[in-house]
Structure formats: C-alpha cells, structure tokens
Amino acid sequence: MENPAVTVFRNYLRIKSVQPDVDYSETTAFLSDLAKDIGLECKVVEVLPGKPFVVMTWRGTEPSLKALMLHSHVDVVPVFPEHWKVDPFSAEKTDSGDIIARGSQDMKCVAIQYLEAIRRLKAEGKQCLRDIHLTFSSDEEIGSKPMSAFVKHEEFKKLNVGYALDEGIANPGSEFRVFYGERSLWWVQVTCKGAPGHGSGFIQNSAAAKVRKVMNSFLQFRDDEENRLKSTPNLSHGDVTTVNMTILKGGIQFNVVPTEFGLSFDIRIPPTVDVVKFENQIKTWCEEAGEDVTYEFVIKDTSSHTVPITKDDPWWNAFSSTLEKLGVEYKTEIFPAGTDSRFTRECGIPALGFSPMNHTPILLHDHNEFLSEKIFLRGIDIYYEIIPALANVTA
C-alpha cells in the first residue's frame, strides 16, 4: 500500500494552481482541511484581493520566544502538455517510484514534508518550546507581490518570527544544498525609439539599430560572466550575475520600419555586487546605443542580506548539527534565483533555503518535473529532526 504521506502529496499536486490567473480557492480548502486533520490552528489572511495566505500554527510551550516559520508557495509555473510524458497534473507514479507532476520539486513537496513531519511529531506526543507557523503564499512565481505585502501586514507581525525555512533546489549529487542568501532580482525593460520608414530603404537612426547595440552590450556581459563561472572552480551559479533577454516586442508589418522596440531582461545579481555601480553600467549601455533609448525597472530588488552560517549562531548550529547527526552531506550556497525569503530577510529575519532533494535532476520549471517517492519520504525524516531542533533553540 502507498504511504499515506505520498497520497497527500499526490493529491496536492493534482490541484491546478498554475499561473497565470490562479484560482486559489481549491488550494486554500485543501490546506485548511489538512491543518484540521493534523490538529493545527489555521487562518486565511488575504493581504491582496484574491491572493490568500494560509497560516497554520503549532503552539509551543514558551510562546513568548520568537517563532519558527516554515514557508512555501502554492502556485506553479505554466506547462506545455505536448512535451510531457503524462498529464502534468495527474501526479502519476512510475513503477520506479517517480512522481511526475508540475510542482513536484517546486515546491509542493516541501509543504507536505513540513506537514507530515509535524503530523508524526504530534502523534508521538512531542512538543516544542517555540511556536511553529506554516505559511503558504500565492503568486511567488510571478514576482511575489503578495509576500511583499504580507511581511508588512499586522498578521505577519503577530507571528513574531525569529527564523524561517523556505525552498531550495534539487541536486543530482549526494549533497543537500543549503542557501544562506540569494541573488537580487531585476526585471529591466529597455525601450528603443527611432525613425520610421519603408522596409525597402536604409533608414538611419532606426529603433532596430539601437536594439542591436543594446543586445550586444547586455549579452556580451552575460558571456563574460558565464566564462568567469566556468573558469573559476570555487564559484557556484549564485556567485555570478546572469542576464537573459526574455521578451522582444515591436513592429506591425513586414514593409514598415517600426518606431519602437521593447526588450525585457531578467537579471540576477549576487550579494557581492555593487548594485549602484551595476545600474550605472546599464545606463551607460543604453546611452551608448543612441538617443531615445531608455530603461525602467519592473522589479528591482536590492536586498543583499545573508544568513549567518557559523557555529556561534544558535540557529545555524541547530540546523547544521542536525544534518551532521543524520550523516547528511551538505554544501552552503547563494540561491541563484529569487524566492519569498528575500522579503523575510529584509525584515531582519534570517531565512534558509532548503529542499531535501539529493540524487535528483534539477527540473523546476522544466518539462516532466518529478520527484522520487523515496527522496520525498526521506525529506520527511529530515524535517522530523530539523523542525524540533530549530523550534527548541533556547538562545
């Protein structure tokens, strides 16, 4: 028979909380019912219209102490079904135990691992010193505006959070990846304006000519950073700046030279970079492309907060010592993408990124995303040890 925790996980995966325009009513109902089943307090906080936060609480014996927050997001990225082996929301399990579904790695697995670990702890009569809050956010995959609002909300302040866990990334190797910071997220929109004309001529000062210069500057920098990563053995993905052009818009028909093009860039910047200097570099690239080339930020996160990862920090000592007690190999890194943790850290609350998925290919946002049943269950065992270790920190 299937492990009941796996059944819960698969049922959660079958909910189509897929961007864009997610209807969160089904996930909210599912999580609320699960909280009731486990015996956790539960409330729904709507910080923005139609963007609920489900907040569950397991009370500790000393609620005056700062609480532990276990965070996850309920939304998932779009799918292209023609590229999947199975229905992306069927949560089909193969004979080898691989559960194939959108969200299996990013990050519905972690949410259920938290809950099933707590279910086991409660069933055994365990109790922790600190309150434990489980928070489930919306719209993380499209910029985290609800999380940005939630950390300013009175309901968040009432949680009295002292430390938090959030998502990490899988690792094909044996080590677990632990993220003590993350790169800043910049979404930059560049607009190039120029002279119009007939498609048969050599139009001077065209928008397209400026686009080429902008692209060359941004993508040459991208190549330089990629080469730096490849040529420096001690660097990880989170230690360099990535630049990707993701959208190009403009034009109305073949024989009309357009007056305007728009370019969108997704940029991720490590905490070691001087963001003021880097923005000046973007400004210079636009100026060098010609007149009427402007840029604006859709998202501009300048947070560079990192979490202490030395044994004299009681939280890190509890976390890392637990992994070591379990005989688990781990490595610390800067998270290469963006998570809700950036808002938690901006509030002065340390947050680690951790998804216990080793021996697992990295398939977040990819076709045929899957997680092994065995790895999933092992993650519950790990959280079963980590959660009380953190919730019983006394310092």
- 323 and 390 Cβ atoms separated by less than 8 Å: no
Token code pair at residue 8: 């819960």
List 184's β-bridge partners, or say none.
269
Active site residue 140: yes
Handedness of CA 84, 87, 89, 93 (dihedral sign): negative
Contacts 24+ apart (CB under 8 A), 229-233: none
Residue 131 annotated to the active site? no
The one catalytic residue in 75, 106, 131, 373 is: 75
Residue count of the chain, please give it. Answer: 395
Report the C-alpha gap between 257 and 248 in whole angstroms. 15
Q: Which residues pair with 56 in a beta bridge?
A: 42, 134
Q: Please state the φ and ψ torsions of residue 49, each to the nearest 5 degrees.
A: -55, 125
Which residue out of 106, 116, 139, 140 is catalytically annotated? 140
**What is the helix, strand, coil percentage profile of the chain, to 5?**
35, 25, 40
Three-state DSSP at 31 gives helix
Q: Which residues are catalytic?
A: 75, 140
